[in-house]
A and B are shown apart, each in its own frame.
Chain A
Amino acid sequence: MDGDIVSRKRELVKEFSPMLGKSSPFSKIWIGFLIVVILVGLVAFVLQVIKGHEITGMRDNVVWGIYIINFIFFVCLSYSGAFISGILHFFKTPWKNSVSRIVEIITVLSLIVGPIFILLCIGRLDRLHYLFIYPRIQSPITWDIIAILTDLIGCFIYLYLTFIPDFAMLRDNSEDAPSWRQKLYKTLAIGYQDTLTQRETLHKITRTMSAMIIVLAIVAYTVLAWIFSLTLQPGWNSTIFAPYFIVAGLYSGVGVIIISMFLIRKYFKLDHYIRKIHFIGAGIVLLVISLLFGYFTFSEYFSRWFSHKIQDTNLLNTLFNKYFWEFILANYIGVLVPIVILFFKKFRTIKSITFAAVIAVLGLWLNRYLIVVPTLETPYLPIQDTRPEFIHYSATWIEWALSFAGIAAFVLFFILIMKLVPIIPMSGIIDYEREQKRHHKPLIQNQKK
């Protein structure tokens, strides 16, 4: 039995290790391109530090722009990833294995990239430590910092826990890998020998962590939603903001998961592991969430329109006049197209599901934009100003460059992690097969008898 497992492990490592070292010319060009985008972003950042925030498009009325929108977007990817991976693990969902690592990596990476965007929005980066020396716990920003830090550490620990068995397998079976790699695997595997006690301990703590991650995800994203909904501004001061944000987060999270599944499957030719059934499962989840998201969005805007308080009316005027096409794209096309594609069985192909996911993600980003910016453009006291940049927000190239640099950094870190550890958890495959054998064994014994 053990010998079987050992040889099976060796097989798996042989199967997956080419992916770790693979660097075809295509991937080199791709990484080079990402690095160029990141460098342009760094240049933009340095310019912003030197010249001040004047060179962004933010001004005295719309003081929060693309940076905070990207922050919310990436953090919602992270929280939805944590939520989904927690549920997959805690409820021991079948077929979870192929996608769980993708989800967990998205969780951690977007939680690293997201807060970088909020740092870009801060006027005095040299005083960042004041947040820790002089914190005020009545402020939603303090709650947000505590939540994000706690969540980041939690997700990181959780990700590491899922890596340990794979590190152990790689440590045992990579004789022909470079020595630095072998050393790395040895340290990171912390002596995990896949004994019964070790395995049980690991499963126990992973299970508790997965439950904790679900709770953390909900609490932390609620706190982020409260940064907006605890103010007095029209369009923000809504009671359902926190649940709305969680549903919206899940929407984009599942979308990004589907897109990554598609790309990884295509690039690494993992058709055997990431199968259509995964896409259909994810697609159904996306369908349910898109229905929920559409329902929440509709409730928000419908009640404002119906009761037509003057502030709400002004806000809706801004939305429907200045931002008409963005509104249609975000809240109509962004919701209806995925629903139509996913609702009908015969539309559900891998490609179409991915397309629906892309529409969902873009629509959601625009939705975040429409939450942040129009409210700031219609304050209680009318903006009586002549300078156009103070009346209407338009992002400058600095902000766009940094946004794309953030996305590029996300993709680059993803690629680098995939070179460290296989994207399909090998230990998961071993565990699955072990479970299968345990179920088949009594059958065989009964048959024999």
Chain B
Amino acid sequence: MKTTFFRCSIFILLFGLLFNTNGIAQENDLSKYRMRFNLKTIKQHDNSRILEANFIAANKKDRKDRIPVYDTEIEFFNVLDDDEVLIGSSKTDKEGKANITVPENHTYLTDGAGNINLVARFKGTDALDEEEEELSVKNLYLDMNLTEIDSVRSVVVNAYVLDSLGAKSPVEGTDILISVEGMLSKMPIGDGTIEDGEFILEMPVDIPGDVNGDLTVYSIIEDHDEYGDVIQKKTANWGIINGQSKKDTNTLWSEAAPIWMYMVLTILLVGVWANYLYTINNLFKIRKEGKQLEMDT
């Protein structure tokens, strides 16, 4: 009696748990995956800086199997020798990215060579190990102007860093890409290398721009060893205004039909239905006469 009861209950328990496939039968087997933890920095056009950490578990065998780590707290530090200043922290989203935006006026601790050392750290949990990534970046100032030089429309880019005395020091040998903003993506119009702190590109003259003729030009330094990502943008009314194409009205495919269709239809229908009304009117006359006759007899 006892044993059968216990056997029964354990059977039911196991049965129920087996059905709960959603809860327990999930992979905890992380040995197939290697954790990838990256840090990058993007300096934006308003001189604020984004620090972005990327935390993903990548399948060692299947390159396409990448699982983002979600909802983990990543802390961002500015370090100098042994000094660690916490700049901010944020949680990873569904793509495994965590980022903070550091405003322009934030003062960083810089080392002797003028580098800002940044660290992103994941404290680690029972299941996941601690992760840390360090990055060293110089604060590059990227100025851009859209001006006419000798009546040729040009993009003028100036790039410099501030040395320890606060003086501008132009940069050399940095690749830069100039592009124009479109609805879905940016279209490259030229690239080159910044020499002596300056890069000038002649602007193509036949780009339409948006509906008001405004063009937004981007100059982007991407993935540089010393400067990270730097983006600068400016807008000028240099687009050839693509005159609004004439709106089709009163065509076969628009909501309102061509006027002549309305007219023909009205004429035909009025003609036919007028005849019907005339006929019915006469029928009433016949009836009236018939009734008269009936009353007379």
Contacts and interface: CB of A to CB of B under 8 A. Distances in A.
A138 B282 contact: no
Nearest to A198: B286
B15 interface: no
B257 A202 contact: no
Contacts of A366: none
Interface residues of B, number: 28
Contacts of B265: 137, 146
A157 B268 contact: no
A197 B268 contact: no
Contacts of A202: 282, 286
B289 A198 contact: yes
Interface string A22-44: 00000000000000000000000
A154 B293 CA distance: 29
A216 B276 CA distance: 12
A215 to B, nearest CB: 8
A363 B266 CA distance: 38
B285 A201 contact: yes
Given A138-B252, A138-B257, A204-B282, A191 B269 contact: no
A138 B289 contact: no
Contacts of B288: 191
Interface residues of A, number: 27
Contacts of B287: 190-192
A146 B269 contact: yes
Interface string A124-158: 00000000000011100000001000100110010
Contacts of A208: 275, 278-279
B17 interface: no
Interface of B: 252-253, 255, 257-258, 261-262, 265, 268-269, 272-273, 275-276, 278-280, 282-283, 285-291, 293-294
A138 B261 contact: yes
A210 to B, nearest CB: 11
A226 to B, nearest CB: 13
A137 B262 contact: yes
- The 5 A-B residue pairs with the shortest CB-CB distance, nearest first, are A191-B290, A190-B287, A191-B287, A205-B282, A205-B279
B293 A191 contact: yes
B294 A137 contact: no
Contact of A205 (B262, B278, B289): B278
A193 B292 CA distance: 10
Nearest to B292: A191
A354 B270 CA distance: 41
Nearest to B262: A137
Nearest to A194: B290
A153 B277 CA distance: 11
Contacts of B290: 189-193, 198
Contacts of B294: 191, 193
A150 B271 CA distance: 11
B257 A205 contact: no
A422 B113 CA distance: 115
Contacts of A195: 289, 293
A219 interface: yes
